[in-house]
Structure 1
Amino acid sequence: MTDKRIVCVTGASGYIGSWLVKRLLERGYHVRATVRDPGNERKVKNLLELPNASTHLSLWKADLTEESSYDDAVQGCQGVFHVATPMELLYHDEPAENEEIESTTVNGILSIMRSCSKAKTVKRFVYTSSTGNIMMQRQPPVDEYTEEHWSDLDLCYELKMFAWKYVVAKTTAERAAWKYAEENGIDMVTVHPSLVLGQSVTPQTSFSTEAATVLYTKDEANIALPKKLHNLSAVHVDDVCNAHIFLFEHPLAKGRYICSTHIFNIFEVGHSLREKYPDKNIPTEFEGLDKSPKIIPCSSKKLIGLGFEFAHKNKDVGDLCAETIEWCRVKGLL
């Protein structure tokens, strides 16, 4: 076993994955970043330009749809951070076929876990899950959502709410992953971020950047998005990635961990951004929405109780959105 701290990050060119790579490199880890096409300069250029990348980063071709695709990248790693997920499911609200769900998230995560079993070097498997796996309840809790809650998939199929296919896929995948971990002796922890906001490493936009900038851009293509973002929880991408590393390194980490710091409604975000950008006429009124809804928070008590400290908890959600807006402006995305 080498003395090098070697880890694998799946979905490394994505919004969370790329920031996680950045933070791991800063901590001296040797990172094997998996992407579908290492030759796609647009997606990997920013990764290769990160501090320490020339000596501590390597790119590996892998795909969630291909069995054993991750074997080589995982072999010799002490840790695997599985961040990759089919984000296109967020935008597809038509009825989902079971085969589609299994072929994307479920079979993908099990394939990676089988690679971990083959490697015999992986000490901990960290999976980026979602509070979406927790919050869909027929009878929501009175005070807060915790790691004990699981989303009701029958309710998702019944309501077909925004991103319901994503929730079904992620929840099904997580349950399958826990079953595999228990049966095969994999030390797994799951991180459950709420809506992730903040700047990025990669040059392309994501659902998170669209969510953060939609009131600023008043994008007609996303005209319904503000209403979908009403009454939600949020967290800074930097806190999410630091939580991943913290849970990988902490010897007592076990089970599921919610990672969320803010609760908000879209009216508050609108007023905050209007103050920051008075020349943009940011909308502050949204027809048909309750201005003072009861928002049930996603509790990060378990994560905080283990000793994790959120660096961005004192910012308001408008600050997090503004950070994303400024990053997009610098990158020429707005």
Structure 2
Amino acid sequence: MGSSSEEIVCVTGASGFIGSWLIMRLLENNYTVRATVRDPDNMKKVQHLLELPKAQTHLTLWKADLSVEGSFDDAINGCTGVFHVATPMDFESKDPEKEVIKPTISGVLDILKACAKTKTVRRIVFTSSAGTVDVEEHRKDVYDENCWSDLDFILTKRMTGWMYFVSKTLAEKVAWKFAEENNLDFITIIPTLVVGPFITPSMPPSLITALSLITGNEAHYSIIKQGHYVHLDDLCNAHIFLYEHPKARGRYICSSHDANIHQLAAVLAQKYPQYNVADKIKGVEDEDIKNPVFSSKKLMDLGFEFKFSLEDMLVGAVETCRAKRLLPLTCDGDQVAEKVIPPAQVPAVAI
């Protein structure tokens, strides 16, 4: 496999945090991209895509919805590759079974069925989540591609983001079964918390978590207590790397840095003292923190190299938020939280 102007690929969740950056990199690599969005006529959601270099000649927008059976068929028909990025990600959902879990599972199956029908698709890369790997009561020292989250524990505990962890875990397992039964070349990439600059107009859900020490959103501290991170650009380049590499097979963790909440706080406090991030987080003691490792050995053994540091990720995210007025330039006390777009206003689909 290799990129050329003859390669036509489909990217789902195109307007989102990961999807839009992935499209930017695909266009730079001379791919022709069919980008699926729920409403191609909503300029607020797609303008940043249309403004990308090469968009006029190498990008088309296609209407598709994870909850509408068959809606991806036309966009996928004739493509050589599919990057399935779209996923419902609404932590504030009042009906998570209907709004998050079911559409995630039915959506990936619908996309795989479209790939099986067209006969032109050579490989599918599915954006999974670290939430499929490490959510369990007793954490391991090292997590690799053989690990799966404990669904019983998630459904019992119902921690922040529980519906997302359930939906991604069930969707990936169902997808693997369908792909194997239908002889599809299927790869999953498993990112940890994705952080960095972005081109979407609103704050991405993962940055609401990553920057929660700035905003004071304590509900997300449980996620960053023992955190694992990857830069958005590294992740998108890994998608393309795995799509193109002839020996790529199976699941691939994509994570470059393991950092606990105190280490995250130290970076933010040093780079942005105006946000008054505490170097010690109330209620989180060092003895409560384990430091498990998310291993990207399989990905790196294939030849992939990460380029960005944890500081690069955080600075890129904060500076983009400041430029887009999603974070104030300076603040005192609770003023940050008051000025940040709350999770309920963040687009529910696309990560």
What TM-score do you get using the length of structure 1 for normalisation?
A: 0.92
Asked if the contact 1:189/1:256 (under 8 Å) is kept, the reply is yes
* Counterpart in the other structure of 2:330: none
Query: What does the per-residue CA deviation read over 1:51-98, in whole Å, with 9 as the maximum and x for residues that have no partner?
Result: 11111000000000011100110011000000000011x344x7854x
What is the rounded CA distance, in whole Å, between the counterparts of 2:18 and 2:76 in structure 1?
19
Q: Does structure 1 residue 117 correspond to structure 2 residue 116? A: yes
Which residue in the other structure is 2:338 paired with? none
| 1:8 counterpart residue number | 10
Q: Secondary structure at the match of 2:198?
A: coil
C-alpha distance in 2 between matches for 1:3 and 1:277: 43
- How many residues align? The count is 323
> Shift in Å at residue 193 of structure 1?
0.2
- Cα gap change, 1:86 to 1:100, in 2 (>3 Å): closer
User: Which residues of 2 match residues 1-334 of structure 1 at below 5 A?
Assistant: 4-88=6-90, 90-92=91-93, 97=97, 103-141=102-140, 143-216=141-214, 218-219=215-216, 222-291=217-286, 293-312=289-308, 315-316=309-310, 318-334=311-327
Counterpart code for 1:327: T
Cα 1:57–1:100 change in 2 (3 A) is: closer
Deviation at 1:20, TM superposition (A): 0.4
How far 1:159 sits from its partner (Å)?
Answer: 1.7
- Structure with the bigger RCO (C-alpha within 8 Å, sep 6+) is 2
- Please tell me whether the aligned partners of residues 209 and 223 of structure 2 are also in contact (alpha carbons under 8 angstroms): no
Q: Deviation digits for residues 262-305 of structure 1, max 9, x if unmatched?
A: 11112122221111122332222212212252211110000000
* Distance in 2 between residues matched to 1:96 and 1:75, nearest whole Å: 31
Q: Which amino acid aligns with 2:177?
A: K
Greater shift in the superposed pair: 188-197 or 227-236: 227-236
* Aligned Cα root-mean-square deviation (Å): 1.8
Structure 1 residue identity aligned to 2:158: K
What letter corresponds to residue 165 of structure 1 in structure 2?
A: M
CA separation in 1, counterparts of 2:222 and 2:145? 26
Of the structure 1 ranges 263-272 and 104-113, higher mean CA displacement relative to structure 2 is found in: 263-272
Give structure 2 stretches of 5+ with no counterpart: 328-351
SS at match of 2:211: helix
Instruction: Determine helix, strand or coil for the equivalent of 1:263.
Output: strand
**2:40–2:46 contact (8 Å) kept in structure 1:** yes
The answer (yes or no) to whether the contact 1:212–1:325 under 8 Å persists in 2 is no
Alpha-carbon distance in 1 for matches of 2:230, 2:75: 30
Q: Do the aligned residues in 1 keep the contact of 2:101 with 2:164 (CA within 8 Å)?
A: no
Partner Cα separation in structure 2 for residue 230 and residue 262 of structure 1: 14
Identity of aligned residues (%): 50
- Where 1:135 maps in the other structure, the secondary structure is coil
Deviation at 1:139, TM superposition (A): 4.4
The offset of 1:17, in angstroms, is: 0.5
Q: Distance in 1 between matches of 2:161 and 2:28?
A: 34
Whole-Å Cα distance in 2 between the matches of residues 163 and 20 of structure 1? 24
Question: Per the alignment, in what secondary structure is the counterpart of residue 87 of structure 1?
Answer: coil
Shift of 1:227: 4.2
Question: Could you tell me how far apart the structure 1 residues matched to 2:235 and 2:180 are?
Answer: 25
Q: Which amino acid aligns with 2:290?
A: K
1:223–1:294 CA distance, 2 compared to 1 (3 A) = closer
Could you say if the C-alpha distance between residues 284 and 246 of structure 1 is closer, same or farther in structure 2, counting changes exceeding 3 Å? same
Contact persistence 1:17–1:83 (CA under 8 A): yes
- SS for the counterpart of 2:129 is coil
Write the distance in 2 (CA, Å) between the matches of 1:187 and 1:175.
Answer: 15
Does the 8 Å CA contact 1:157/1:164 hold for their aligned counterparts?
yes
Alignment gaps of 5+ in structure 1: none
Q: Which amino acid aligns with 2:33?
A: V
